[in-house]
A and B are shown apart, each in its own frame.
Chain A
């Protein structure tokens, strides 16, 4: 057992991964690799006391806004929103069925979802607009945006990065799920993304880096978001592993949207539960 697996939020994250696995296996579709790489980030935000929200009042005006710009990782977010009580857990078992509210990419008809996403490169601009409207109105909420690193190939991301810095949107917090992979390639083999942290810094953002699977680090870099004195928007570059938590999925491109077969589902579940038991013991 390591410090990472010993953290109180680790158990929650493993359970979210198991639910995500079950959703995708049952629907026979989904994006498991990216969902697993960002699960710990989402858990830190929703269960680590970072995001301000009320599942009973999804439209509460003072809630923080969270935008999943990498909308294809919605399965992990759905599992969290259901667990938090935004909608019944039963919805997860009907994921992507015609009568289910949960589609393959999130939209605003789902309680807890702030913006329609799925096409990459939109979320940061939308988040910047929300943050700007908050400042215009003197509202105190924060706006969070979760991006993929492959998504950062979209030019619109950098248009929004410049805009947010220009307007000193210090209450805009973005996290990049930096798993170093896009759909068909390792990022280093198709785009000169590195040095990613320095790029954001050069675009006028305060940049912090963290191990995106270490809750101590994640909560440390996110812990002061309401007390920051900087006028810059905040970027967390979270170093992650695609498919995190399942040995045969980790850092394997085919698990971007690969669907595990029955035996693989059982193996994945076993591995995820083993770590849970390890923590319990």
Chain B
């Protein structure tokens, strides 16, 4: 057995945590159907081998994948579709809008490659606009899990959810922030670090960056609270507004374009709530990233690595400004 049953979850790649859990669910429920637009993963092999009737490679045809998934869902199936983020969100956006959101069907979109995870593969493979566009779709739930535990829990949550879900999937091992493998995603956020001076709202991979930055800032005498907003839509507005109203300063940190992501979403509810607490959004600039380099290197270039984030927050708090 090569799944997570015999491994500590801390040793499991986030992507494997997802597919291992999906396999476990599909094994006991033949209505679970997995579709891929010609994307594989080591952890998918046993799904393909053991449940061939529930595993469909549609080829490089994301638009058709979404429509077929809608048809399967109309036929009573619980469908999970998979490809690289821009291809399974932007390429087939109109199919998602009409067929999944419009008909409110239980299809889970799994996008691999959050943010600039694909690094030097370039802007065709980067996911910097998906949160912005997917969150405009009525009835869409967006989950951006932070570690293997939350990733695994997101499979079960999506399985039980009666409408469309978009899960932004990571690859590789990330430090565990959660220990309850039955974590209920309903609340939508978690406090992963306490603090008083600044609240950083972050999501996905960048929550880890926020925690590292908070550690640095603590050494500078700044107490930083970090909130993991793992459910980007629907936002838990009452809780988030309450936290914003109680904050001294608000920072949002994300691996999405500055336009339309978590920062925008929180700015919207902050405005509607009449909250005047100072706010700073840290995100990828409004540009296509053609730097042929790693994710870490791109983050440094965009000043989104932990050191730069700490410096930017400190500069903003101490000098009320942030240099370019």
Contacts and interface: CB of A to CB of B under 8 A. Distances in A.
A127 B75 CA distance: 10
A124 B30 CA distance: 24
Given A122-B99, A129-B69, A160 B75 contact: no
Contact of A162 (B59, B70, B99): B59
B67 A122 contact: yes
Between A119, A125, A159, A162, the greatest number of chain B beta carbons within 10 A of the residue's beta carbon is seen for A125
Contact of A136 (B59, B69, B74, B77): B77
Contacts of A121: 63
Secondary structure type dominating chain B contacts: helix
A159 B91 CA distance: 14
Interface string B60-76: 01011011111111111
Given A114-B74, A136-B53, A136-B77, A129 B102 contact: no
B61 A130 contact: no
A129 B70 contact: yes
A155 B67 CA distance: 13
B70 A125 contact: yes
B94 A119 contact: yes
B133 interface: no
Nearest to A69: B67
Interface string B127-168: 000000000000000000000000000000000000000000
25 contacts: A114-B74, A115-B99, A117-B98, A119-B94, A122-B70, A122-B99, A124-B67, A125-B64, A125-B67, A126-B67, A127-B71, A129-B68, A129-B70, A129-B71, A129-B72, A129-B73, A129-B74, A130-B72, A130-B74, A130-B75, A136-B53, A156-B64, A159-B59, A159-B61, A160-B64
Interface in B42-95: 53, 58-59, 61, 63-64, 66-77, 94-95
B71 A163 contact: no
Chain B interface residue bracket vs A: 20 to 34
Interface in A149-180: 155-156, 159-160, 162-163
B210 to A, nearest CB: 40
A128 interface: yes
Interface in A118-146: 118-119, 121-134, 136-137
B103 A163 contact: no
Contacts of B63: 121, 125, 155-156, 159
Given A115-B70, A130-B75, 19 more contacts: A107-B102, A108-B103, A115-B71, A119-B98, A122-B95, A122-B98, A123-B67, A125-B64, A125-B67, A125-B95, A126-B99, A128-B71, A130-B72, A132-B75, A134-B75, A137-B76, A156-B64, A163-B58, A163-B61
Interface of B: 30, 33, 53, 58-59, 61, 63-64, 66-77, 94-95, 98-99, 102-103
B105 to A, nearest CB: 10
A128 B35 CA distance: 14
Nearest to B75: A133
Contacts of A133: 71-72, 74-77
A280 to B, nearest CB: 42
A115 B68 contact: no
A137 B31 CA distance: 9
B195 to A, nearest CB: 47
A116 interface: yes
B71 A126 contact: yes
Interface in A209-250: none
Nearest to B57: A166
A156 B58 CA distance: 12
B127 to A, nearest CB: 22
A114 B105 CA distance: 13
Contacts of B70: 115, 122, 125-126, 129
A66 B221 CA distance: 67
Between B70, B74, B75, B77, the greatest number of chain A beta carbons within 10 A of the residue's beta carbon is seen for B75
Contacts of B74: 114-115, 126, 129-130, 133
Interface in A74-133: 107-108, 114-119, 121-133
Nearest to A143: B71
A126 to B, nearest CB: 4
Contacts of B99: 115-116, 122, 125-126
Contacts of B53: 136
B75 A116 contact: no
Contacts of A115: 70-71, 74, 99, 103
Given A116-B99, A122-B99, A125-B70, A163 B75 contact: no
Contacts of A118: 98
A127 B71 CA distance: 6
Contacts of B64: 125, 128, 156, 159-160, 162-163
Contacts of A123: 67
A122 B68 CA distance: 9
Nearest to B99: A122
A112 to B, nearest CB: 14
